[in-house]
Amino acid sequence: MKLADLQIVRTTAIDIKNRKKWAVEIRTAWQKTVEGIFEVGRLLIEAKEEISHGLFEEMIREDLPFSPRAARMLMSIPKNDNLVNRKHASVLPPSWDTLYELSKQDDGTFSLMLDKGVIHPEMKRGDVKNFLKERVFAEKRKKEKLERRKKNTPTLEMGDAIKWLKKQEPADLILTDPPYLTDVDNIQKFAESWLPLALNRIKPTGRAYIFIGAYPEEIHAYSSIAMPEQILVWTYRNAIGPAPKNMYRLNWQAILYYQNPDCNPLDCPELNELFAVQDVNAPDGRHDGRYHAWEKPTDLADRFIRHSTKPGDVILDPFSGTGSFLVAACDLGRVAKGCEINKKMAAIARGRGCEILK
């Protein structure tokens, strides 16, 4: 036998020995959890570098419990910086195909999925795909909203709410968040100055949702002027103020619900939205915009608008603030009109798409 032939035989024998060694190590790692998945990927990468291509492919087909395609997916996992980041270890799922799906996401998408809580140990591969579909759908909805605002811009008039209300034609809904007891000198006189006038600006088929503070004196003041049909509750669990020594924390606000005698039934196919207690987190600036301290969540505004009006209906907000209710109404195809006396608030509303009227 020639020297060259001996060298080929020796090399082949070493390759076969290495193949068996790598196969044992990779099978052992395969039995582990998340750490094992990373180890399998790393071992595959090292094995591919050490043994010939033909024997590497043969090893996968004959000696390992997964296909060549799965091997390629596994090798991509430890190459991903987001997945190997130790800060993320506690939330990663022990599923190699899910980790592979995560490895395909860019840094921005991965970070957003972390913020939204999409990435967690129990997640499935389909959760990634569903998130991406929802993200595309959300972008589409955002574009549609912008187009809708161009055609139907919400208007906000600068000035006094009472003077403004006197000029308004009857509307289908009043949705507003007036100053609280802590913001005015006399809550009784303040409520008397605008509430009867506002309720008089609702059509016989209309309704009103009026957010007020959770203070007994404030609830009494409004209820003594015009008893609501119901007092709804907006509760939130993500905003906690100073801890009182002899009182309980106020993590809720009252919503006075009025309806006129000829109104249609509430349009609310979602049964969980029909509860008198509406459990929706307050805007906190972490995931969505927050424009002022007592801003109401868009999801909550959307509910009340959908429940009580239809596209094309007119919605009034005499205390518009930064325009949250006006923008929500516009995005749902309603005609939104509001009033605000604070120039800084109105400037923010302009930035959100409201047309400011002098």
What are the tens digits of pLDDT across the range 285-325?
554 556 666 789 999 999 999 999 999 999 999 999 999 99
d(CA 221, CA 74): 66
Q: What are the residue boundaries of the structural domains of the chain, listed by start? A: 3-135, 152-357
Coil, strand or helix: which one is 256? Answer: strand
pLDDT tens track for 144-199:
766 766 678 999 999 999 999 999 999 999 999 999 999 999 999 999 999 999 99
Tell me the pLDDT tens digit for each residue of 17-71. 788 888 877 766 655 678 889 999 999 999 999 988 888 999 999 999 889 999 9
The domain 152-357 is classified under which CATH number: 3.10.25.10, 3.60.150.10, 3.40.50.10420, 3.40.50.150?
3.40.50.150
Q: Are 93 and 121 in contact (CB under 8 A)?
A: yes
Phi, then psi, of 192 in degrees rounded to 5: -65, -30
pTM, entire model: 0.62
CB burial class (10 A; 0-12, 13-18, 19+) of residue 77? buried
